Amino acid sequence: MATTAAETARNYIGGEWVDASGDETFETTNPATGETIGSFPKSTVEDVDRAVEAAKEAYESWRLVPAPKRAEILFRVGQRFIDRKDELTELMVREMGKVRAEAGGDVQEAIDMTYYMAGEGRRLFGQTTPSEMPDKFQMSIRMPVGVVGAITPWNFPIAIPSWKITPALVCGDTVVFKPARDTPMLGARFVEIFEEAGLPPGVLNIVHGGGETVGTALVEHPDVPLISLTGSREVGVQTAKNAAARLKHVHLELGGKNAIIVMDDADIDLAVEGILWSAFGTSGQRCTAASRVIASGKVYDQLSSRLVERAEAMKLGDGLEDDTDVGPVINRAALDKIHSYTEIGKDEGAKLLTGGEIATENGLDKGFFYRPTVFADVDPGMRIAQEEIFGPTTALIRATDVDEAIRIANGIEFGLSSSIFTRDVNRAFRAIRDLNTGITYVNAGTTGAEVHLPFGGTKQTGNGHREAGQAALDFYTEWKSVYVDYSGKLQRAQIDAVETPAP
């Protein structure tokens, strides 16, 4: 599938690019310009069935491939990501809307994750423990589970598929991949690279289409025991319900309403940089975006004035232009949702310091651009301080001390990422201990996770599983405990345990 101005794409099932069973299609477009990038099939339940059958058949041989050999394919995949990084970066700018530097970072994250998980092919450690019985050996080992349904979002269209698919493959599972409808071309390119690297047919399949059809069919399919989904809380709850009847393993990465705490002893210049990057990077379209800033009263005014000055200097535009700071949001629905929260904030009594507008000048009306938006005098209970906006909007909240700041930060339904700017090591460690989130940064923003540590959150951000790091392997494998008795007689565990000698 060569890169062209506009393509007609297909599904990839059983090692072949195939037409969908139906005739309906949808288009993917550039959110900065409205340019049509490609046409994709609205796949049906029948297409999902074909892909699952291919993955199920491939699983029987793939699980028997030694893990180091599975890893060798991933190493080749990683090299191909490197070779095609520029191509993927430019496509991501065009299809998703990130500025070039951020798009390159997305691809780099997939490179890092692929190499990391390839390294796990020579580990996949279990444990050995001493038995309480004589002449008996015992150990635990990881076992693959089967077919994984990987359902990914549009905001990290190369990185997040790598988080789900590379650990699944190195563990010996096979995958049916449903990319987001807003970024299907990047999903297709992702799968092409595995095909080029020599992944056997059926081990990785891609089916395009909507969540209501393809996603639901994957979640409910009797031959898909594992579902990994990144999306909204509402979709996550429905996914868990749909999978419950078959007791499937379900991994959910859902929403965030992340806070940066700025104490009175903070480096204000550094804090402003961290807020700008965390609140307005990727146009605020990250689950780790900083949509709240909780500032000490002593630095609140200074911080807000500097933040407004810097936000107003940010240039909106096409991410392919080198001087662009903020690209478009993904589509019209997202733009309308973001603007609706501006109106909600004003109605609630928050003070709009800057932004709050759909940008239309200098050709921006061809895309979906929203000005970086800062609210002040925000009460922690306001909707703009509680609900995920998923756009370039942040809310400034006052706090008198670190204890109040932590209480405010924790006073939401989500628990993904958090941050504190302070020079006081005692405050920093109290925040590390008391912030109820899966990720905490000290003197950095709320974004910037690395692939060798677990990624995920507490409370309603997910259901307790983690992506990345060795923790990811726990979702894609089952533990098996193995006992080898070489005593030559039946030993009945605790019943026949040797008594401890008397002192």
pLDDT in tens, 55-98: 999 999 999 999 999 999 999 999 999 999 999 999 999 999 99
pLDDT above 90 for 340: yes
Higher pLDDT, 436 or 492: 436
Question: What Cα–Cα distance (Å) separates residue 100 from each residue in 84, 97, 364, 418?
Answer: 14, 9, 18, 26
Tell me whether residue 72 is exposed, middle or buried, using C-beta atoms within 10 angstroms of its C-beta: 0 to 12, 13 to 18, 19 or more. middle
pLDDT in tens, 223-247: 999 999 999 999 999 999 999 999 9
Q: What is the mean pLDDT of the chain?
A: 96
pLDDT in tens, 108-149: 999 999 999 999 999 999 999 999 999 999 999 999 999 999
What CATH topology corresponds to 16-21+38-254+462-481?
Aldehyde Dehydrogenase; Chain A, domain 1 (3.40.605)
pLDDT above 60 for 4: no
Check: CB of residue 196 under 8 Å from CB of residue 78: no
Per-domain boundaries in the chain: 16-21+38-254+462-481, 258-442
pLDDT in tens, 304-320: 999 999 999 999 999 99
pTM of the model: 0.95
What CATH topology corresponds to 258-442?
Aldehyde Dehydrogenase; Chain A, domain 2 (3.40.309)
pLDDT above 90 for 344: yes
User: How far is the C-alpha of 179 from the C-alpha of 187, rounded, in Å?
Assistant: 6
Helix/strand/coil (H/E/C) assignment for every residue in 70-115? HHHHHHHHHHHHHHCHHHHHHHHHHHCCCCHHHHHHHHHHHHHHHH
Looking at residue 5, its pLDDT comes to 54
**Domains 16-21+38-254+462-481 and 258-442 agree in fold:** no
Lowest-confidence pick of 16-30, 208-222, 353-367, 489-503: 489-503
Looking at residue 493, its pLDDT comes to 85
Active site residues: 253, 287
What does the pLDDT average to over 22-29? 94
What does the pLDDT average to over 443-463? 96
